A and B are shown apart, each in its own frame.
Chain A
Amino acid sequence: ETGVTQTPRHLVMGMTNKKSLKCEQHLGHNAMYWYKQSAKKPLELMFVYNFKEQTENNSVPSRFSPECPNSSHLFLHLHTLQPEDSALYLCASSQPGGSRTDTQYFGPGTRLTVL
């Protein structure tokens, strides 16, 4: 349960605020992911990083800005969000090429509310 951690667990922000979500994995993985989970779309992939390089951006609005300084840490910087961005943001990691390639280990998520 502590392999992938996320902070904060809950966040309430106004539309003009700037905040950041943090994800850290202690599994030695080289791939990290951001997902958005809402009633509208249960698991929506946002970004993928492999070996610190962004390999996928699923047409995510620029008000979401990811950052991956190393293979263990992943951030999601938020600015000028909209109320419809309220959701659970899940981080995940995996080990490409391992025996369970692409098995993803999820963090507990950050529940974001945009007022």
Chain B
Amino acid sequence: GENVEQHPSTLSVQEGDSAVIKCTYSDSASNYFPWYKQELGKRPQLIIDIRSNVGEKKDQRIAVTLNKTAKHFSLHITETQPEDSAVYFCAARAGKSTFGDGTTLTVKP
């Protein structure tokens, strides 16, 4: 089955800096890669996703890149703000979604 590894497990950045979270996956059949954000005490919510036929996707300060050859995809957040502080989960879908273990991002004002 699919195996998804997510790094780092915790990330602390200064407000205004960029943050990068990386995930690797094992199943080359995976074709859909969503990212979820979970704020403290709230439910996970989709923030951006990418399909295997696209290399990069951007939505304002958030971007996701996909390297199918290396089987890794990354979340990039630019100009971070304190409200970006949350746990971020990546997932890879090959029939069903497998989630990474999450990254706790802290943005210091």
List chain A residues, Cβ under 8 A from B89. 42-43
A107 at the interface (CB under 8 A from B): yes
Complex Cα gap A41–B101 (Å):
7
Cross-chain contact B97 with A108 (CB below 8 angstroms): no
Given contacts A42-B101, A42-B102, A103-B49, are A90 and B44 in contact (CB under 8 A)? yes
CB distance from A26 to the nearest CB of B (A): 15
Chain B CB within 10 A, most for which of A43, A48, A108: A43
**Chain A facing B: main interface SS:** loop
Measured as residues with beta carbon below 8 angstroms from the partner, the interface class of chain B is: 10 to 19
Cross-chain contact B34 with A43 (CB below 8 angstroms): no
Q: Which of B78-93 contact A (CB under 8 A)?
A: 87, 89, 93
Q: Please, which residue of chain A has its CB at the minimum distance from the CB of B9?
A: A42
The contact of B102 among A43, A102, A103, by CB within 8 Å, is: A43
Cross-chain contact B101 with A90 (CB below 8 angstroms): no
The contact of A102 among B36, B45, B87, B93, by CB within 8 Å, is: B93
Given contacts A90-B44, A108-B42, are A100 and B87 in contact (CB under 8 A)? no
Cross-chain contact B99 with A42 (CB below 8 angstroms): yes
CB distance from B9 to the nearest CB of A (A): 10
A109 at the interface (CB under 8 A from B): yes
Complex Cα gap A101–B97 (Å):
10
List chain B residues, Cβ under 8 A from A42. 87, 89, 99, 101-102
List chain A residues, Cβ under 8 A from B102. 42-43
List chain B residues, Cβ under 8 A from A103. 34, 46, 49
Q: Which of B45-59 contact A (CB under 8 A)?
A: 45-46, 49
List chain A residues, Cβ under 8 A from B87. 42
Complex Cα gap A47–B42 (Å):
21
**Lowest 9 A-B CB distances belong to which pairs?**
A106-B43, A42-B102, A43-B99, A106-B44, A102-B93, A108-B43, A42-B101, A102-B97, A103-B46
